[in-house]
Amino acid sequence: MAYAEKVYKTRRGKPLKQFTWKVRYKKPDGSWGSESGFPTKGTATDWGEEQEAAIRAGRWIDPALQRAKFGAFARKWMKAKPKRGNTIAKRWNLLEHHVLPKWEHVPLIQINWFDVDSWQQSLACDDVTAGHCVSLMSSILTGAVDAQHLAVNPLFGRRRTRSTAAAPAARKKKSDEEKWVRPEVVLQVAERLGPAIGLHVLTTAFTGLGWGEGAALHRDNVLRTRRQPHDGGWFECPVIQVDPDVGELAEYEGRDADGNKTGMVLQLEPPKNATRVRGIDIPPFLAELLRCHLADWPHEYVFCTPSGVFWRRSNFTRAHIRPAADGRPALPAVKGHAPRGAWAPLMPGLTMRDLRHTHDTYQDQIGVRPALMYEQAGHARPGIKAVYQHPTPAMRQERLDGLQGIYERAMGNLGWRTLWGRVDLRKAPSGERLPNISQTITRNGELAA
């Protein structure tokens, strides 16, 4: 049973007449716990009895654990929750740059939603980053509940207040029109960059490959064939396979188990999730371009540097995307390069991520069915329809025809017949098929009309 006792204050080692009350109570393991600082015997005893009642009910939380500092528990949580290297790096960056400067020395029990919501509105970062900070804090506090440091997570299920004033350091947000690229612009950027780099741009816009997926694309996973029964025969089309054994290229600042920086990492890692492992159907023009590229490309990885090593994203963007999209002045002759003409701006600020947006926008434009749209983009489809609806060969052919049509209309609008001299914009003569182009084969082995 809990009981209270006096605790006299001291000065220079000598007791004074002033005192407070300390309560002692029996903990679940049979040892005696204590809590000091109560003004009266009654309040001390009541608090101790509340602890013993909570222990009997199985809902007791050790007050010492509740007073653990957020920073100390966050580091413990990070060590206990191993993730993909890029995820770990992003979490540590959020903690070090935004979360810990404010919350590191705050006891877990003192964190409340009002203070967190006020704080996140004042962060000098974009709203998405502020949301990630709050989400990470909430995950850590849920871990504190699981570890019996807290009874409840005060952030769980709460909706953030969006700041009405733009944060000073926040980047200007792109409009919807700036997040996707007209097919004519895609072709112009690709043409400027040549058949190796330009094909990476074109492939991203017409397949939706993520940066890491494209940079890690192995030649063995290009122009593979999808073959499915259809209308008494077979449907076939070329695909790009995002292979779980190859994975995707990850680039991030490495961290050890304690969060210490270990240097930049550039390596292949497993795909982000199961939905990113997929076969992407590719339209006829792109299949022919890839076939030509592989025929004279000496390296194992389709979109690596000319020397055969992986691109770093920043280097690729700075050296190729920025001048091709933003424009450049005329360049004089230098060793190894003839004079190069000026490029007018095409779409300033274009990124490879915008090209991934572009593919999904094209899919929506041509009416790709949701079951196939989600699959091809590598997105998890929400809801019960994800369980009951599946892509069919007819859906796949309709998508391929739509993407081919977008390409052909854009080429016509530009007045072009070829890209890099490799694909002639023409219809195949009757009875002729370009290699590995989507087609339906009848039961007798003949091509369907």
223: left (phi > 0), else alpha (psi -120 to 50), else beta? left
pLDDT of residue 423: 65
Residue 400 CA: distances (Å) to CA of 207, 350, 406: 10, 25, 10
- Structural domains in the chain, sorted by start: 3-60 (no CATH), 70-146 (1.10.150), 178-441 (1.10.443)
Note down pLDDT in tens along the chain; length 449 residues: 887 888 888 887 787 888 888 888 888 888 887 888 888 888 888 887 887 788 888 888 888 899 999 999 999 999 998 788 889 999 999 999 999 999 999 999 999 999 999 999 999 999 999 999 999 999 999 999 999 999 999 999 999 998 765 444 445 666 767 789 999 999 999 999 999 999 999 999 999 999 999 999 999 999 999 999 999 999 999 999 999 999 899 999 898 888 888 899 899 999 989 999 999 999 999 999 999 999 999 999 999 999 999 999 999 999 999 999 999 999 888 887 788 889 999 999 999 999 999 999 999 999 999 999 999 999 999 999 999 999 999 999 999 999 999 999 999 999 999 998 876 654 434 444 444 455 544 444 444 44
Model pLDDT, residue 103? 97
Instruction: Work out whether strand 279-281 and strand 233-241 pair parallel, antiparallel, or are unpaired.
Output: antiparallel
The whole-number pLDDT of residue 169 equals: 47
The Cβ-side half-sphere exposure at 31, using a 13 Å CA radius, reads 4
Q: Give the three-state DSSP class for 73.
A: helix
Closest of 88, 87, 77, 99 to residue 143, by C-alpha: 77
